[in-house]
Structure 1
Amino acid sequence: MSDENQNEPFDIDRIMREADESMARMAKMEEEGTADIVKYFDRIHDKLFDLNNILIAGYFALVAINQQVSKGIIFVPVANLLFLIYVDYRMMEKSRLQSQITKVSAADRERYGRMINNTNLYSLLVIATTLTVTLVLIYVLYQFKTPIQVKS
């Protein structure tokens, strides 16, 4: 066999360096992925706040138009709004802890990890509750149909 056909010699240092670089890229991708999750949940929360405000107006209009509907039903979208505010507060606390991650204790860093997981679960739950508030409004509208009469 000629030397031209032989592969280049085995270089363990080069292989280890490439593996380290690959692991560093994957770790960076992981960090960016986590940040993206929070960013997208934040964008979703903004849209849910807007939708919930529209739902609150819809519930108020429903109560004003139809006297058969209990005024207590207004509590449904308001409770959801309070839950949205709570989840946003948790996200703010998570970000506050994240901004000081190198200055906090190991226990606080562990709490940070749990906080991320729990906040993401709360975010999914807030999507479900907003959908429920929307469905309740649709159901109530269907049950208490109030035809709009135009005076001629």
Structure 2
Amino acid sequence: MEKILNSEYVDKEFEEACNKIDKIREDGLRNVLKHFDRIHDKLFVFNNILIAGFFGLSKIDNQISVKLIIIPILNLCFLIFIEYEMMEISRFDATIKEQLFENYKFNKERISRITIFSFLSILSTLIVTLTFLYFLFQ
């Protein structure tokens, strides 16, 4: 009898531990998206400063074309696309109970893709910054 009670206790503890791990995993995913959102906010602001900087450079130095503003504007479009994708991920999460099972794989792929895009957005902003600095100190 004691073995049965002990087995039930172990099963209950195991189930609680699995539930805690699932909750930690879910919280971790939410935190990742929250941190990406904060990074993207900073990239948006910095990119807007770069747009103003490129515009200012074109007005100060007549040899620099105003068409160079297209560089940070393209980067801004990329950042907006990433924000849209993150919004779609959050929208999926908000309606997760109503989603079809086939959509789970697509959402998982979307999360992986947006993670790569987020890294690329940091690199693209760095490239835009280096381009700006090149024209600034030319």
TM-score by length of 1: 0.84
* Paired position in structure 1 for 2:87: 92
Q: Which deviations, in whole Å up to 9, do the C-alpha atoms of 1:92-123 show, x marking residues without a partner?
A: 11111221111121111211111111111111
Matches within 5 A, 1:48-63: 48-63=43-58
Larger helix fraction of residues:
2
Structure 2 length normalisation: TM-score? 0.92
Q: What's the CA shift string for 1:23-49, capped at 9, x where partnerless?
A: 111110000000000001001111111
Report how many aligned residue pairs link the two structures.
Answer: 135
Q: 2:35 aligns with which of 40, 57, 63?
A: 40
Deviations 1:55-76 (A, max 9, x none): 0000000000001112221111
Give ranges in structure 2 of 5+ residues lacking alignment: none
The Cα shift of 1:131 comes to 1.1
| Cross-structure match for 1:120 | 115
Specify every segment of 5 or more residues in structure 1 that has no aligned partner in the other structure, as ranges.
1-8, 144-152
Question: Structure 1 vs Structure 2: percent identity of aligned residues?
Answer: 39
Give me the CA root mean square deviation.
1.2
Cα deviation code 1:72-100 (max 9, x no counterpart): 21111000001011111111111112211
* Moved segments of 4+, more than 3 Å: none
